[in-house]
């Protein structure tokens, strides 16, 4: 191509603009650049819940071309500024062996860390903390569910047990409509968790145990084997769960200056929104699904 700037457009060839040099009469093609539609297509695909077929109709392109552009879109890398923060941590799963561990700053409503996992292990939580601290983050406190071993892992900072998860544990053991009077009383006590303080709740839980301790200690013996088991073992498990988590249920009240949330609801809401968006595009290939999930976690306020 000559060095003259006197050119004119001559049309398209295979979707690429061609030019004519007025000085030498030579034809040449413009440099192929990434489609300017890619970002628009991607955002409509992810956040506007448009399917590939809908995008194909809207932009008068083939389904194959839409899919190619979506696969070719390269989202910008996340930029997360280090800070002093409260860390809300939890996992969400898309099937048995595909999940994400997410850490969220509840005050800025921003996800600061997410990592794809196969199973929820303590090593993943430790890795999350180590990674954030190596980036310059200072974690003042943690809000998490009742995963065994997690609280001792963060013994050097305050840990708040999520009230929502605690109530879910009680429901799992007692069901939503317990038949036993003791179960009804314990479920009602747990449902007032958010509206009480540590001293009052501790006294009420102790009073419940004093009232029902003989009942939950009842045993049933197998006449053939002679072995026994607790008759109301699910009720016992529900009580033991409250007793075990009691030191972590009111951390947010013991540290009012830190403004610690008492639930992981902000993160749970983010998970619900994430799954709704992903569910629109069932059958995505793993690489596109992974890119979509990462983009949502990065950009979801």
**Per-residue model confidence (pLDDT) at position 44:** 95
Same-domain check for residues 206 and 61: no
Same-domain check for residues 27 and 50: no
Q: What is the pLDDT of residues 180-217, one digit of tens each?
A: 999 999 999 999 999 999 999 999 999 999 999 999 99
**Number of separate domains in the chain:** 4
**Positions in the chain whose pLDDT score sits under 50:** 1-5, 14
Residue 80 lies in a domain: no
Q: Are 233 and 181 in contact (CB under 8 A)?
A: no
Alpha helices by DSSP H, the chain: 37-46, 52-59, 63-72, 122-134, 150-153, 163-174, 181-191, 198-216, 233-249, 251-254, 265-280, 286-299
Q: How far is CA 255 from CA 1, 26, 157, 243, 259, in A?
A: 71, 76, 11, 21, 7
Same-domain check for residues 176 and 248: yes
Same-domain check for residues 280 and 299: yes
**Per-residue model confidence (pLDDT) at position 164:** 94
3-state secondary structure of 232: coil
**Per-residue model confidence (pLDDT) at position 1:** 44
Same-domain check for residues 122 and 267: yes
**Per-residue model confidence (pLDDT) at position 146:** 84
Same-domain check for residues 14 and 58: no
Q: Which domain holds residue 5?
A: 1-33
Q: What is the pLDDT of residues 44-93, one digit of tens each?
A: 999 999 999 999 999 999 999 999 999 999 988 888 899 999 999 999 99
**Per-residue model confidence (pLDDT) at position 209:** 96
3-state secondary structure of 141: strand
Residue 288's nearest CA partner among 73, 91, 41 is 73
User: Is the Cα torsion angle 188, 191, 195, 199 positive or negative in sign?
Assistant: positive
Residue 113 lies in a domain: yes
**Per-residue model confidence (pLDDT) at position 289:** 92
Residue 79 lies in a domain: no
Same-domain check for residues 114 and 143: yes
Same-domain check for residues 27 and 3: yes
Same-domain check for residues 172 and 247: yes
> Can you give the CATH number for the domain in which 99 is found?
3.30.420.10
**Per-residue model confidence (pLDDT) at position 215:** 95
Q: How far is CA 287 from CA 71, 74, 283, in A?
A: 9, 12, 12
- pTM score, whole prediction: 0.83
């Amino acid at each position: 191509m000559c060095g003259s700037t006197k050119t004119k457009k001559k049309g398209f060839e295979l979707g690429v603009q061609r030019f004519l040099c007025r000085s030498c009469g030579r034809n040449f093609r413009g440099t192929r650049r990434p489609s300017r539609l890619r970002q628009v297509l991607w955002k409509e695909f992810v956040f506007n819940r448009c399917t590939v077929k809908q995008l194909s109709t809207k932009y008068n392109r083939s389904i194959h071309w839409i899919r190619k552009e979506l696969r070719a879109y390269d989202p910008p890398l996340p930029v997360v500024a280090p800070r002093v923060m409260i860390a809300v941590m939890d996992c969400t799963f898309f099937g048995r062996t595909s999940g994400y561990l997410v850490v969220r700053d509840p005050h800025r409503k921003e996800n600061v860390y997410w990592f794809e996992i196969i199973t929820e292990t303590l090593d993943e939580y430790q890795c999350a903390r180590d990674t954030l601290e190596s980036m310059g983050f200072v974690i003042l406190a943690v809000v998490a569910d009742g995963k065994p071993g997690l609280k001792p892992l963060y013994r050097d900072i305050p840990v708040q047990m999520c009230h929502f998860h605690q109530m879910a544990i009680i429901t799992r053991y007692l069901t939503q409509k317990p038949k036993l009077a003791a179960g009804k009383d314990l479920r009602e006590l747990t449902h007032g968790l958010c509206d009480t303080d540590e001293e009052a709740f501790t006294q009420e839980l102790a009073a419940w145990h004093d009232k029902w301790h003989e009942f939950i200690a009842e045993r049933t013996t197998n006449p053939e084997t002679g072995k026994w088991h607790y008759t109301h073992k699910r009720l016992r498990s529900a009580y033991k769960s409250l007793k075990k988590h009691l030191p972590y249920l009111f951390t947010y009240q013991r540290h009012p200056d830190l403004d610690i949330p008492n639930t992981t609801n902000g993160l749970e809401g983010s998970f619900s929104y994430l799954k709704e968006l992903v569910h629109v595009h069932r059958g995505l290939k793993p690489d596109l699904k992974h890119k979509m999930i990462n983009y949502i976690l990065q950009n979801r306020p």
